[in-house]
Amino acid sequence: MIELSNIEKRFGTTTVLSSVDLVMAEGSVTALIGPSGAGKSTLLRCINLLEQPTSGTVRLGEASVTFEPGKRVPAAEILALRRQTGMVFQNFQLFPHRNAVDNVMEGLVTVLGWPRERAKARAMELLEKVGMAEKAEAWPSTLSGGQQQRVAIARALAPSPRILLCDEPTSALDPELSDEVVEVLGQLAREGTTMVMATHDLRLALRTAGEVVVVDGGHVIEKGPSRQIFTDPQRERTKRFVTTLTQESQELQSGA
C-alpha cells in the first residue's frame, strides 16, 4: 500500500503541493493527470523521496517517513523506502557507454552486489518481457526512443521493486513509438504490477490505470475510477482538462 498523508512541498517561498492525502492499494495502477506545472511530477517524485516533502508522511508497505520543516530525516530511513520503488523517467536516462543488457544489469551488480551471471540472467528475462531480448547487445544510440524506454522499464523492474513509478513515460515519443511503451506498461498492469504514473497520454491512462488522480495548483481536485474521470468528471476544471487531453489525442492520431 502507498499512503501519502498531508503532503506539502515548498521550493523556497513557492508551495508546489499542499494538503495531499492519497491511498493507493497494492496491485493498483494510478495515473496522475493535470496541466503542466500542476505538481503531478513533483508528487510522483515525493513517493520515492527523489523530492523530499517539506512536511507530511510517506508510507510504502511497512516503511514510513515523516517530514517536518527543519527536521533532518536519517538517510537510512529514506533508503529503506526508496529501495521499494523503481523509476522510469521521461528521457530514458540509459548509460550511453553500456549496451542494453548491461544497462539492465548495472544496478543489480553495483548496488545489490549480484554476481554477473545471475544479474545477466535476470536482465535477459526482463528484456524478453519487454520485447527487447534480440537487442540485448545493442547500444542505446542505435535504438529508437520506444526501444530505449522499454530497456529503461526493464532496468527499473530489475530489483523487483514493490512499486513502479513512471514520470511521463511516453511524452518524448511520437505516437507510433509510444504505442510500444503503452503496450508494455499495459501488460505489466494486467500482471498486477503496482504502478503510479504522471502522464498527459490519454491512451496510456485509459489502457493501464484503474484509478485517476487529478492534480491542479498543487492540490488533488478529483480522484476516482479512470472511466468515470474521463467520461463523467465531477469538477468543471477536470472537464476542461479532459476535453483538452481528448483533443490532443485525436490530433496526434490523425497526424500519425
Predicted pLDDT of residue 243 = 87
Predicted pLDDT of residue 250 = 66
Half-sphere exposure of 87 (CA within 13 A, CB side): 18
Half-sphere exposure of 90 (CA within 13 A, CB side): 11
Q: Residue 85 burial (CB < 10 Å; 0-12/13-18/19+)?
A: buried
> What is the mean pLDDT of the segment spanning 78-89?
92
Q: How many H helices and E strands in the chain?
A: 9, 10
| Cβ-Cβ contacts under 8 Å for 38 (sequence gap 6 or more) | 215, 216, 217, 218
pLDDT at 249 over 70: no
Residue 212 banded pLDDT, cuts 50, 70, 90: very high
Cross-strand pairs, 58: 4, 65
**What pLDDT, in 10s, does the model give residues 133-146?**
999 999 999 999 99
Residue 2 banded pLDDT, cuts 50, 70, 90: very high
> What is the mean pLDDT of the segment spanning 99-108?
96
pTM as predicted: 0.91
CATH 3.20.20.70 fits 2-84+164-255, yes or no: no
Say if residues 253 and 246 touch (Cβ distance below 8 Å): no
> What is the pairing mode between strands 55-60 and 63-67?
antiparallel
Predicted pLDDT of residue 220 = 95
Query: What percent of the chain clears pLDDT 90, i.e. is strictly above it?
Result: 72
- Terminal CA-CA length for the chain: 38
Say if residues 208 and 219 touch (Cβ distance below 8 Å): no
> What is the mean pLDDT of the segment spanning 149-176?
91
Q: Where are the domains of the chain?
A: 2-84+164-255, 94-161
pLDDT at 252 over 80: no
The grid coordinates of residue 21 equal 492525502
Q: Quote the CA–CA distance of 183 and 185 in Å, as a whole number.
A: 6
Predicted pLDDT of residue 251 = 64
- The cell 520506444 sits on which residue? 146
Mean predicted lDDT score pLDDT of the chain:
91
Which one is predicted more confidently, 206 or 248? 206
pLDDT at 103 over 90: yes
Concatenating the DSSP letter of every residue in 42-93 gives HHHHHHTTSS--SEEEEEETTEEEEE-TTPPPPHHHHHHHHTTEEEE-TT--
**What pLDDT, in 10s, does the model give residues 4-55?**
999 999 999 999 999 999 999 999 999 999 988 899 999 999 999 999 999 9
pLDDT at 256 over 60: no
> What is the mean pLDDT of the segment spanning 205-216?
92
